[in-house]
Homo-oligomer: A and B are copies of this chain.
Amino acid sequence: MATNDTPAASPTSNGEIPATCVAPKGFRFATTGAGFRKSGRDDLALVVSDTPAVAAAVFTKNLFQAAPVLVARDILARAPKARAVLINSGQANACTGDEGLTNCRATLELVAAATGLLPQDILPASTGVIGAQLAMDKWAAAVPDLAANLGRKDPEDFAKAIMTTDAFPKFASRTVELSGGTVTLVGMAKGAGMICPNMATMLATVLCDADVEPAAWQALFRDAVDATFNRVTVDGDTSTNDTVFGLANGASGVAARGADLAVLGAALTGVLGDVAYMLVKDGEGATKVIHINVAGARDDADAELAARTVGHSQLVKTAMYGRDANWGRIVAALGRSGATFNPAAVIVSLCGVELFRGGQPTNLDFDALLKEPLAGRDIVVNIMLGNGPGSYRLLASDLTHDYVSCNADYRS
């Protein structure tokens, strides 16, 4: 049931940098500063699996797909295997036409030549300014150093190198006991809103050392992404570059088959849930993570419609920023969502306090009851529509002065 007061995600890290982060076996990390970004910090990241890994991916549904999205889809359509993931920040290589595709393929050639991989072994992703062509001279200058430090970096370095406007690096790991032994997963993500001021994208890569069949891995991966990345929203925008990669290389020597798959899937969902939570926490200027739980909908699709309308409502998001128990905005968003229900059957509660039932306010002294809960970071909105078994959970950020500042500033 989605109507308890437990946050939808159960982050182990609560968005803070984990004290410890374990890496799965058989992966080596490299990062370097290519100068794509002005800050001078690392902005190019590579992870290489010692052996071909089973690969899964989910890409943006935006009709304008960035060059690296098109190239990565093409690579995976030929074979669901990969050796490496290559990510640059600072330039999105989106809306760049044929030249962008040629440039993307050229970066894979450069990295392949420097590392002994084949270009088609490497999955690319990019994030940064839309519409600018890649700075190929900077790529050519940076790749030797990238290749040289392969194995000298870790997942935290990788997560830092792919940041754009992120306030903190996002990574999480899990070890999990399968019947044949221990396997490890690590996830790394970036994103803090779609674009700021012109920076695009949510990107994530999850690595695993379990030995798992391609079809099984891909199914676990799709379910995990659906339960996590597809249930967060900062501003409702979907970028041209959004990509999640999942690589499982089997380096642990531990097979995941049969009943172990559910155990592995839970850990995978846990890792992606952790980093997805961090994305919302770091939503541009965000001060809150709003956990929207809709239950009692006609079906799950209707529940999703209701949850997304509430989670995208500027009025709900500003009320949460203002610590205002303004249930009228939640109710009004439900009423325009397109979900089917009887208004008199709806129950809305905020942080465990029931505010609206039977078409009327409950007349509790909710301002007093909610003063302390609404000052916290995690705000739970429970909505019962009273029309069926459908449910959905969504994490949303609030809408703040800093969001406007971040997104209204001139590109510089």
- Chain A, 310-338, CB within 8 A of any chain B CB: 312-315, 318-319, 321-324, 326-329, 331-336
How distant is A375 from chain B, measured CB to nearest CB, in Å? 12
B95–A130 touching, CB < 8 Å: no
Chain B residues positioned under 8 Å from A193 (CB to CB): 315
Quickly give the copy total for this chain. Answer: 2
Residues of B contacting A235 with CB < 8 Å? 313-315
Kindly state the separation between the CA atoms of A335 and B400 in the bound complex, as whole angstroms.
Answer: 26
Q: Assess whether A64 is in contact with B332, with CB atoms less than 8 Å apart.
A: yes
A407/B95 in contact, CB under 8 A: no
Contact of A195 among B239, B329, B356, B407 (CB under 8 A): B329
User: Inside 8 A of A343's CB, which chain B residues have their CB?
Assistant: 63-65
Stretch at the interface among A75-83, A224-232, A265-273, A358-366: A358-366
A372 at the B interface (CB under 8 A)? no
Contact residue among B97, B360, B411 (Cβ-Cβ distance under 8 Å from A324): B411
Over the window 38-67 of chain A, the binary record of Cβ atoms lying under 8 Å from chain B Cβ atoms (1 yes, 0 no) is: 000000000000000000000001111100
Number of interface residues of A (CB under 8 A): 63
Which partner residue on chain B sits nearest A240 by CB separation?
Answer: B332
Q: Which of B95, B332, B408 contacts A237 (CB 8 A)?
A: B332
Residue from the list B129, B237, B319, B331 in contact with A64, Cβ < 8 A = B331
A322: which of B319, B358, B408 is its contact (CB, 8 Å)? Answer: B408
With both chains docked as a complex, state the minimum distance between the C-beta of A349 and any C-beta of chain B, in angstroms. Answer: 15
Q: Which residues of B lie under 8 Å from residue A358 when comparing CB positions?
A: 97
In the complex, whether A388 has a CB less than 8 A from a CB of chain B is no
A168 within 8 A of B: no
Known: A326-B197, A361-B131. A95 touches B331 (CB 8 A): yes
Closest Cβ–Cβ distance, residue A318 to chain B (whole Å): 4
| CB of A311 to closest CB in B, whole Å | 13
8 A Cβ contacts from A360-412 to B: 360-361, 399-401, 403-405, 407-411
Check A314 against B237 for contact (C-beta < 8 Å): yes
